[in-house]
Homo-oligomer: A and B are copies of this chain.
């Protein structure tokens, strides 16, 4: 399961950071790097219990590293997951759009 989470980080979309189970600062660094590479906005996404960590990432980026970055929009939603045996479960998700 941890492996699956970490793969998600690698196959990230343009300007998106998926927050997984690694330490907070790794995701902070990923966001800061994308801004420093010219991105005007970066989306921080997470699901389930990792939502709290996504908020930490956004707050640390804004308050400690990039005071000119703001959260432009925050969306919460419910996603439906289908497991291998076909059973479905629902999980909350967050998407925080950070922008300069």
Q: Give every chain B residue within 8 A of A71 (Cβ-Cβ).
A: 76
What is the copy number of this chain in the assembly? 2
A59 vs B78: C-alpha distance in the bound complex, in angstroms? 7
User: Are B92 and A52 neighbours in the complex by a CB distance under 8 Å?
Assistant: yes
Looking at the assembled complex, report how far the CB atom of A49 sits from the nearest CB atom of chain B, in whole angstroms.
5
Tally A residues with Cβ within 8 Å of B.
Answer: 19
Min CB–CB distance A80 → chain B (angstroms): 11
- A94 engages B55 (CB within 8 Å): yes
A33: CB under 8 A from chain B? no
Residue of B nearest to A48 (CB): B52
Q: Do B76 and A63 have beta carbons less than 8 Å apart?
A: no
Of A49, A55, A96, the most chain B CB neighbours within 10 A belong to A55
